Structure 1
Amino acid sequence: MINKDSIENLKNHIDIVDTISQFLQLKKSGANFKACCPFHGESTPSFVVSPAKQIYHCFGCGVGGDSIKFVMEYEKLSYPEAVEKLASMNNFSLTYDDTKEKKQDTKVIQEINKYYQKNFVDNNVAKEYIKSRGIFESSIEKFEIGYAPTSAETINFLKSNFLNLADAKELGIIDSGANGLYARFIERITFPIYSLNGSLVGFGGRTITGHSAKYINSPQTKIFNKSRLLYGYNLSKDKIYKRKEIIITEGYLDVIMLHQAGFDNAVATLGTALTKDHLPILKRGEPKVIVAYDGDNAGLNAAFKASQLMSHNDFEGGVIIFEKGFDPADMVKDGKIEELNRIFSKPKPFIPFSIDHIISQYDLNDPQNKQKALHDVNEFLNTLNPIYHDEYSRYIAQKLNIRENLIKVQKSTNRNNNVELSKVDIGELCIIKAILNDKQRLSRVLDVIDSSMFEYHKNEFEILITDINDVRLNAILLNEKLEDYSDERLNAEILILLGKFYSNKLNEVLYDKTYTFNEKSSLIRKIKDNIAMLKSGKLISYNL
């Protein structure tokens, strides 16, 4: 475990502007910096970085935190991984409480990759298969294609080279069973898989000797999670950023062949569908996303799920389905590069593709089936941003050959957790911001007011009392439209807040029939006394 004091020293050593500027292009804006948020699509910058507070906050989607939180979210890392990455980026040495717990040593996986590559050179069957798929020598070298031999040969290599067998097991290279140690990859062509930062983390393997599973991946380990990785991304990312486009395929060979044909912005999922865990990767550089899948049932269903995911997260791009048993790798092998260019230039947008797929499941000649199709597309439409409702209501009506008024859409709802504009009170927010700017003010303010006195922002004030460092308050702290109060101005605003509170309280008591006459008279007298004290300023000046 990383020592807590070491983490605090790291926080004091790093600067949030330096950290985030290594991932985003920041522009100066007053005392702060701004950028387009990397966590949701936007054209107007609402992502604010404060060097004074060492925090960031997006006013569009609500994310926020410090340098460690940013690296966690941007790189999809755990807290310890983000801390270690930041330490590496800043040449900072961390200390650990438990000397037995050490960072994963990846030497063994690097050595086994070299071993697989050497075996590939010496294995004619593996070379012949790769050659038959149209893969060039240059691509073999670029993607480090290898070959895993028998289990006994792999175990013998590890032992004879004095490589740590415990590390090999932790990294998913070997495992143990009833008959002792065995290799996970046996007689398979290997495709090394790299993390986003270019570290080797695992392998994909294709059988050429008839194993029941055609493809397998490394098991989940400390450094390998297939739902957070894309094959080939380490080689494609520069082109993806430059072209503002990413092509997502289903297999390793598709990626290799597309790169070979010049489509070097192609990647592949690792035997799993696109999931929300992939979104932070796909949002990097805000590229147009092209999902290019096979036309079989599995491919169509995967494309539909991907389309829904992309639609709900406002990604640009669309879907390409390869029919008649062809896939990108086959087309490259057959020299159909120009045809691929045309196909990739005209993907079916995600929302129409999703609508078409839903409708295709029903026989529209049957009125009952048409009604079911209408129900399902209505449900899908209601999950989308309201801005799409009108446009795609017309599209659905045309596809189903029905009147447009039969398309039912729900009323617009606020899709993020920001406060509704109708419930914003600038004065209350400025009081909270004043306390956040000088945390010593909190105890003095609590001598005079509590959360019940806030009409609109009671929840935010309660968060402030519970944890003044809560990241949910960053939106208030970094809001440049909220004035920075001096102590005198803060006192005056609290006076106004209390005045409103007691005036409202007086009206409540006057018209509340549950009080007796004596109770009501006593309460009214106390409230009026407080109002009189407020008007004289005695209560505020005395307590603050």
Structure 2
Amino acid sequence: MIAQDSIEALKARLDIVDVVGSYVELKKAGGNYKAPCPFHDEKSPSFVVSPQKQIYHCFGCGAGGDSVKFVMEYEKLNYPEALEKLADSYNFTLSYTDNKNNKPRSQVMDALNEWYKNLLNQKREALAYIQERGIYESSVEKFGIGYAPDSNATINYVKSQMFTMNEAVEMGVIGYDGGRNFARFIERITFPIRSANGSLVGFGGRTITGHQAKYVNSPETPFFNKSRLLYAYHLAKQSLHKKGEIIITEGYLDVIMLHQAGFDNAVATLGTALTVEHLPLLRKGEPKVVMAYDGDKAGRAAALKASKLLSASGFRGGVVVFEGGLDPADMVKDGRVEELANMFRSPKSFIEFVLDELLSLYDLRDPKAKESCMGEGVAYLKTLSPLLQEEYRTYLASRLGGLGVSPSLVKLTSNDNSQQNRPLVQNNSHKDMWELSLIKTVLEKPHFINQILDVLDPSLLLFHSREFSLAIAGKSDSPELMAIMVDESITGLKDEDSLNAELITFLTRYYERELRKVNLAQNISFEEKAFYIRKFRGKIGKLKRGELVGFND
């Protein structure tokens, strides 16, 4: 069981924007951040993250909580698993009430990585391959390159270090199938894969003995998700922030050789296309993005998909395609570093690349194919901002215009304005800002609760009595209260004087309404009416003199 003081120490390190932002692409909105909710389907963003409150809340589906709750919901983990994942991401060592568990979760990974690195120097075939590819010893050290032997040797090493097979399976270095364990990496050069914070979360492996799969990666685990990781990001992040640019390649060797040549802002996807899950990581620092992809059919298809995604998401940058079977690693090895630098300085913009690729996919001598091409081009342009749509409408028209297409035919108008200028919060129920301000004051300054309850009962609130009752009961994790906490249009009262003045005003109006009701009432006796008239007039008199009166007085 994880020790409570260890949990609290971990939570103190967490930043809700950093945690949520590693899963969801957040955009600044005043003092908060917002995004489409990851927990339900929506087009207009109603998901808000508050750095001040360290919580998130969706005004659409009501989901909300802190950093740990988000990881639990997003990753479908239980509470201890979410804590352990966050601890691993933040290089934090949790303490357990049972001493046998008091060790870092990645300890088995770290031990294997050191062993792999030592084995590399003993394997001539692996060293020969590395030298053949032009990799320096300094790069071997920088990237922690190693060598994984046969399966039995790896399993025996894990046992010799007193790790259990369950630990090794959980971290993805050992597999289990058909009643037996086996090593995930067999006779391969190994490339340790780390999270953005530098924690070892997985491995990539390149065969040197002719295995069917040239490259393999660790399997998906709670700690390793290849769709959210970029190889060597932890090494590149300082440089990419300084240069304002990130180079994304397709392989480990491309990254290693580019770093070796001074392009230390290079990273790579992990055997997968760029996905929307990569965007939060790429958004950090708002760098220009240069995609450096192979010129073969698979490389161009991957570059097309990535360019559509990045341009629609508002990223700056473009694409560099390597023709003739070359790749960045080959060019560095051949000494063509200046040529590479020129290519990276002038990539083809994402939008132009997409439109040119779409044009190349159709036989434009065929009128029907030409029509289909224009339709696909227009559909893509509609994913961009209005300004870019208009700018590149002309570009698309010019490329098709020489083939008998008038620019006026490239129409971008849409009748669907349902999502334009829609407010963040869709709520048809009445919102009383005074009552909400009082509730926010209770949430932010709970020491005022007794003072408020002396003069005010939840039943006096006309619109938000439920939320007020939850607030005074300390139910701050309820969706209703989270919505109030992250709503920047609601401001709490600053101090006791402001609170007293607002309470006097509210109560004066309340008792004046009650007095009018009594005067108009016909179903009570004269004596009872006279009693309430004196009572309410007395309260109103005191309030107008600046004196708060008790609710039960």
TM-score, structure 2 as length reference: 0.71
User: Residue in 1 aligned with 2:413?
Assistant: 409
Native 8 Å contact 1:55 1:474 kept in 2: no
Q: Distance in 2 between matches of 1:379 and 1:494?
A: 58
* Matched residue type, 1:403: P
Q: Deviations over 1:310-356 (max 9, x none)?
A: 12221111221111111111111111111111111112222222222
Mark the CA change 1:212 to 1:50 in structure 2 (over 3 Å): closer, same or farther.
closer
Q: Aligned runs of 1:108-507 on 2, under 5 Å?
A: 108-178=108-178, 180-401=180-401, 402-404=406-408, 406-410=410-414, 413-414=419-420, 418-419=424-425, 428-438=432-442, 444=457, 446-450=459-463, 467=478, 470-477=481-488, 486=499, 488-489=501-502
User: Residue in 2 aligned with 1:502?
Assistant: none
Mark the CA change 1:224 to 1:432 in structure 2 (over 3 Å): closer, same or farther.
same
Mark the CA change 1:391 to 1:486 in structure 2 (over 3 Å): closer, same or farther.
farther
* Matched residue type, 1:329: A
Q: Deviations over 1:144-182 (max 9, x none)?
A: 111112222223333444443332222222223447332
Gaps of 5+ in 1: 24-37, 453-463, 500-535
- Percent identity between the two aligned chains: 43
* Matched residue type, 2:300: L
Deviation of 1:428 (Å): 3.8
Q: Distance in 2 between matches of 1:336 and 1:496?
A: 80
* Matched residue type, 1:140: V
* Matched residue type, 1:120: L
* Matched residue type, 1:435: I
Q: For CA contacts below 8 A with separation 6 or more, give which structure has more relative contact order.
A: 2
Q: Distance in 1 between matches of 2:116 and 2:477?
A: 56
Q: Distance in 1 between matches of 2:147 and 2:91?
A: 37
Mark the CA change 1:429 to 1:394 in structure 2 (over 3 Å): closer, same or farther.
farther
Q: Distance in 1 between matches of 2:279 and 2:254?
A: 21
Native 8 Å contact 1:436 1:468 kept in 2: no
Per mean C-alpha deviation after superposition, the further-off stretch among 299-308 and 78-87 is 78-87
* Matched residue type, 1:450: F
Mark the CA change 1:475 to 1:221 in structure 2 (over 3 Å): closer, same or farther.
closer
TM-score, structure 1 as length reference: 0.72
* Matched residue type, 1:472: A
Alignment RMSD: 4.8
Mark the CA change 1:76 to 1:194 in structure 2 (over 3 Å): closer, same or farther.
farther
Mark the CA change 1:83 to 1:186 in structure 2 (over 3 Å): closer, same or farther.
closer
Mark the CA change 1:408 to 1:433 in structure 2 (over 3 Å): closer, same or farther.
same
Q: Distance in 1 between matches of 2:195 and 2:296?
A: 30
Mark the CA change 1:417 to 1:256 in structure 2 (over 3 Å): closer, same or farther.
farther
Mark the CA change 1:127 to 1:235 in structure 2 (over 3 Å): closer, same or farther.
same
Deviation of 1:211 (Å): 0.9
* Matched residue type, 2:420: N
Native 8 Å contact 2:7 2:83 kept in 1: no
Native 8 Å contact 2:244 2:285 kept in 1: yes
Q: Distance in 2 between matches of 1:465 and 1:149?
A: 54
* Matched residue type, 1:190: T
Deviation of 1:399 (Å): 2.1
Deviation of 1:359 (Å): 2.7
Mark the CA change 1:168 to 1:348 in structure 2 (over 3 Å): closer, same or farther.
same
Deviation of 1:117 (Å): 1.5
Q: Distance in 1 between matches of 2:95 and 2:318?
A: 47
User: Residue in 1 aligned with 2:546?
Assistant: none
Deviation of 1:254 (Å): 0.3
Native 8 Å contact 1:246 1:265 kept in 2: yes
Q: Deviations over 1:264-284 (max 9, x none)?
A: 111111111111221221112
Mark the CA change 1:168 to 1:95 in structure 2 (over 3 Å): closer, same or farther.
closer
* Matched residue type, 1:283: R
- Secondary structure class of the residue paired with 2:377: helix
Q: Deviations over 1:334-382 (max 9, x none)?
A: 1111111111111222222222222322222221111111221222222
Q: Distance in 2 between matches of 1:265 and 1:135?
A: 18
Per mean C-alpha deviation after superposition, the further-off stretch among 436-445 and 345-354 is 436-445
Gaps of 5+ in 2: 34-48, 444-448, 466-474, 513-536, 544-548
Per mean C-alpha deviation after superposition, the further-off stretch among 257-266 and 199-208 is 199-208
Native 8 Å contact 2:54 2:67 kept in 1: no
* Matched residue type, 2:285: G
Mark the CA change 1:483 to 1:315 in structure 2 (over 3 Å): closer, same or farther.
farther
Q: Deviations over 1:485-512 (max 9, x none)?
A: 7465478579999x9xxxxxxxxxxxxx
Per mean C-alpha deviation after superposition, the further-off stretch among 171-180 and 323-332 is 171-180
